[in-house]
Amino acid sequence: MLKLNLYIVVTLLYLLKSTDVTCKELSESERAARAAFVQRLLNKRKHLEGKIRLVGGSSEYEGNVYIYHAGRWGAVCDDSWDDAAARVVCGTFDKTGTATHGGQYGEATRKFWMDDVVCEGSEKSISECIFTGWGSSDCQSSEAAGVICTDRTKEDLIKTIKPAKRIHEVLDINSASLRLAGGRSNNEGRVEIYHKGNWGSLCPDGWTLFEASVVCRHLALGFAQQALQTDYFGSSTIVLSGVQCQGNESNLFYCEHQEYREVVCPGEKGYVAAVTAPIN
């Protein structure tokens, strides 16, 4: 806001100097003209609020995400960034999309406006999603969130209307188990489900702190520190996709999902859902 006010002041001083009116009274018509000009400036800046632009990509539909707020453009951090958030961003261009992480299109060149963005995927703008607050971020410039936007397909439309089922409706929870695998301790790792003699991973598409919190509650690990989409902890066959929790479930099997066993998982190859929890 300070930057916006300074911009207006400088513009007014320029107008006064260029029209040689610093030492004479303005007529009513001149005052009205200048007031209308300033109002147009304010309206233009207000119109930009919440606008999105993609920077660094090979086209206007891919790149690191920047959002306009309070008179300036700012970056988005990739903490909790997922395909649901990417779909919201790409939806502004009437497209769907996938998320990118780690400054795939270069390091952030502006202040981070948003961090820990969690979207359901149906929001009209990422400013409607949950995040830590404007400008509240501890991210490094290398943690810029990005998107790759693509045209919507019939499969995308089918996926959005496909009814979700709770996991316990397709699994025998009396014989199913949950674990974290591949970590350096029991408090971190990729999330795996055991069913009918096999362990399998979860697709990370849409994986957020809501789901991670339920996993930690399920495993008696307290609260979740991070919800990760990564191959850092290794990977295994993905058997479950579209996992979505409200965050208050007692265990993961009461959360909803889209597909079991025959799974199509978008995003980075080899990436799976993972969790870290504080070590007590």
Give per-residue pLDDT as tens, 102-118: 999 999 999 999 999 99
pLDDT band at 63 (very low <50, low <70, confident <90, very high): very high
pLDDT band at 241 (very low <50, low <70, confident <90, very high): confident
DSSP E strands, 84-166: 96-100, 112-114, 146-150, 165-166
Mean pLDDT is lowest, of 55-59, 202-206, 210-214, 262-266, for 262-266
CA–CA gap between residue 162 and residue 261 (Å, rounded): 16
For residue 26, how many other CB atoms are within 10 A of its CB? 13
* Mean local confidence (pLDDT), 181-209: 91
For the chain, the average pLDDT equals: 83
pLDDT band at 214 (very low <50, low <70, confident <90, very high): very high
Give the dihedral of Cα atoms 168, 174, 178, 179; nearest 10 deg.
180
pLDDT band at 70 (very low <50, low <70, confident <90, very high): confident
Give the dihedral of Cα atoms 194, 80, 99, 228; nearest 10 deg.
-30
Mean pLDDT is lowest, of 64-68, 131-135, 166-170, 229-233, for 166-170
